[in-house]
Amino acid sequence: MNSSLDDLTDRQRREQDFHRDFAAKHAALVTEPVTMDVVEDTDRRWWNAYWSMYDRILSSGLAGKRVLIPGCGFGTDAIRIARLGAAVAAFDISPEIIEIAGHRGRHHGLPDIEFGVMTAEKLLYPDDHFDAVVFVDILHHVDIGRTMQEIRRVLKPGGLVIGNELYTHSRLQALRETGFVARQLYPRMRRYIYGTDTPYITADEHKINEAEFRLVSDSLTDSDIDYFGCFEGRLFPNRIAWASRLDRRFMRAAAPIAATLGSRVVFRGRIRKVVAHPA
């Protein structure tokens, strides 16, 4: 399922250009195995945001359900969720990325995953089509308002929304952008935290803030929202498990102000459908 992609914005074209080169550098992923630890391990990593998202996925009973994965990249989450028995549709803005994702799905014995090329702001699926959508680090790449309009359209009434997204409160971001932090402290910490001097894909990326996340949360009912990483990802990398455990305990204790302190948000809720009333 492919769109023409003729009406891309400048930002979307920059994303496409980047991912064309990115796909060429990662062509070997086609035959690399997708690990299933986050799905199969009974010893759960309760301190990890990504594992916490999968805790929500596993408890949601997605087997036999139609699940949409926007901005699916090389298809890792599509493959994992399809292995759970879901009927998965996944898309990305990059034809080259989707070509690799399709090969990976077939290589893993999952030829029925429906991979497509389109933008999150203009979906090609029919109304009320999906039972659930899973967002994984995609909202900071898109127009969230337009994307959520499309998600409300394609999800069935009461459909599940599950996600794990980069986040920062606007107050902390303002501190991050002060002269000393931006010019002195952050450049020194960047390689230690991210393992690279270029942690972001394009200049258009930024962590979503509380106002942008509200475009998601206001679309949900029965929502379960949790914030991770006050110090993780800022003062130390998430690969230090003992420090991440301490950070998680701190964030639980700081629950009343976690939305101000967190660097990731994990969420689950049911879509709030907009009912059109006759004039």
Residue range 209-265, pLDDT digits in tens:
999 999 999 999 999 999 999 999 888 888 899 999 999 999 999 999 999 999 999
Q: Is residue 18 part of a domain?
A: yes
- Residue 79 half-sphere exposure, CB side, CA atoms within 13 Å? 25
Q: Is residue 91 part of a domain?
A: yes
Beta bridge partners of 69: 90
Q: Is residue 277 part of a domain?
A: no
Q: Is residue 208 part of a domain?
A: yes
User: What is the per-residue burial (b if ≥16 Cβ within 10 Å, else e) of 107-146?
Assistant: bbebeebbbbbbbbbebebeeeebbbbbbbbbbbbbbbee
Q: Is residue 51 part of a domain?
A: yes
Q: Is residue 4 part of a domain?
A: no
| pLDDT reported for residue 199 | 59
Beta bridge partners of 208: 167
Instruction: Residue 217: name the closest of 162, 263, 255 by CA.
Output: 162
Mean per-residue pLDDT, 97-102: 96
Boundaries of domain holding 179:
10-268
Residue with tokens 């660097």: 263
The pLDDT tens digits for 210-222 are 999 999 999 999 9
Q: Is residue 194 part of a domain?
A: yes
Q: Is residue 141 part of a domain?
A: yes
- Rounded to the nearest 10°, the torsion over CA 212, 217, 219, 222 is 180
Tokens of residue 169, six digits: 């409160």
Tokens of residue 123, six digits: 């979906």
Tokens of residue 190, six digits: 């960047």
As for how many domains the chain has, the answer is 1
Backbone angles phi, psi at 105, to 5 degrees: -60, -45
Asked whether the predicted pLDDT for residue 71 surpasses 60, the reply is yes
Beta bridge partners of 136: 164
- The enclosing domain of 133 has a CATH number of 3.40.50.150
Beta bridge partners of 265: 165, 227
Mean per-residue pLDDT, 177-202: 66
Asked whether the predicted pLDDT for residue 181 surpasses 70, the reply is no
Asked whether the predicted pLDDT for residue 185 surpasses 80, the reply is no
